[in-house]
Structure formats: structure tokens, C-alpha cells
Amino acid sequence: MRKIFISSFLVVSVSMFSQTVSDLKFDSNVIDSENSYVALQKKETDTKYGYGFIYFDEMAGYSFRSLGDLAVENGKLKVVTDEFHKSSMLISRIGNFNLKTAKLSDDVVKKLNLESPPKWLGNYKGSKPENEKILDRASKLNGANNPQLALPKLLELHKNNFKTEALYFELIFSYNALGKFPEAEMISQEAIKNKKADDLIKKNTSTH
């Protein structure tokens, strides 16, 4: 509520016009919007759309950095920045992966004169190999009780022969959480065969 209050009363118009409001299609999920500017759905009584940037923080997981609002003027969008967003950072850790946002196209980003990619994103790039980054994302998804989103990432890693102890653990977790117990058992046996099974995997496998 504090954010809404500040955004409503400390408004300063900036920037350029973009395309029409019809360009906002609220059909993008969080994962597919990583490293992208997005607009949030608004209530019917609101006059502006909140907007920001979705990225992945290796420590905190998928995150949304609020950057201000998109106002509608003569059927077109323009960036509106309040004093709070000028002087402070408002970051939300994303827990609802069913959230649908409108991913701003490259053309809209350009017309809004938004920095792409934003310089601050470099602070979250990380130095891990790409496979480890994908595994981190899948692990965060499993931890947020979204195994159905984690599983495709894990299977792709497995297909590409990235078979670490951590990968096997997350893959077994996803299968079990989805009720796919035969698949979980098969992966457990494979982990043991490849000597990539931790004590928990060995214990659970031995009880079947």
C-alpha cells in the first residue's frame, strides 16, 4: 500500500510515448520474461500500469525490480516516474509463478527510451557455468513448490549429459512432487549406478 500511495501522489512525467495500449498482452509467464521489461496488470479503477524488470538473483531467486508506471495518454503509453523510484529501489521476490505479465517488446522498449539491458543487471550476472545457472533456477522453482516448471529444465540438463549429484537430487524431487514415482525410482537407480547419489537418495531407494 505504501508503494501505491507514493506512486499516486508524487508523480513526475518523463520520457517518450510508445505504441498503443493494445501492445500490452498479459500472457507472459515469469520464467519466459527473465531479463525483460514487463508491465503488470492493473485494476479497472487504476489509471496506470506498474512496470519493471524481471531477473534472476542467485541468492534470492526470480525477482522483480519496480521502476515506476506506464500511463495511458491519448491511447498511447508513456513512462511515469515518481520521486520514490528516482531515489529508491523496490525489489520483490517472485513467489507466484502463475503471475502473468505483459512482456515489452524490443520495439516498445526502444520507443520508451529504456536502457536495454539496464546497467545494474550486470550485478546479477554471476560467474557460474551456464548449466549451473539453469540448475539454480530449477532448484529455486522446486523450492517454491513449482516442480512442473523445474522439471523441463532438469530434463534438458540430463539430456545434455549434465549429471551431477545436485541434478539428480532436484530431478528426483520434481518427479516425486508430481507423483511420478516410477520415474523418480528410475532416476534414483541411475544416480546410484553413476555414483552421484547422496545419502538421502540411497536411503529412499533402498526402502522401495
The 10s digit of each residue's pLDDT in 88-124 is 888 999 988 888 999 999 999 999 999 999 999 999 9
149/138 Cα distance (integer angstroms): 8
Q: 3-12, 17-26, 96-105, 125-134: which has the minimum mean pLDDT? A: 3-12
88/66 Cα distance (integer angstroms): 10
Q: How far is CA 136 from CA 64, 79, 112, 140, in A?
A: 17, 33, 32, 6
pLDDT confidence tier of residue 75, bands split at 50, 70 and 90: confident
**What is the pTM assigned to this prediction?**
0.79
Q: Summarize pLDDT for 128-142 with one digit per residue, the tens.
A: 899 999 999 999 999
Cα 60 to its chain centre, rounded Å, is 11
What pLDDT, on a 0 to 100 scale, did the predictor assign at position 205?
58
Over 70: is that where the pLDDT of 174 sits?
A: yes
- Provide the mean pLDDT of the chain: 83
Enter the DSSP assignment of 199: H
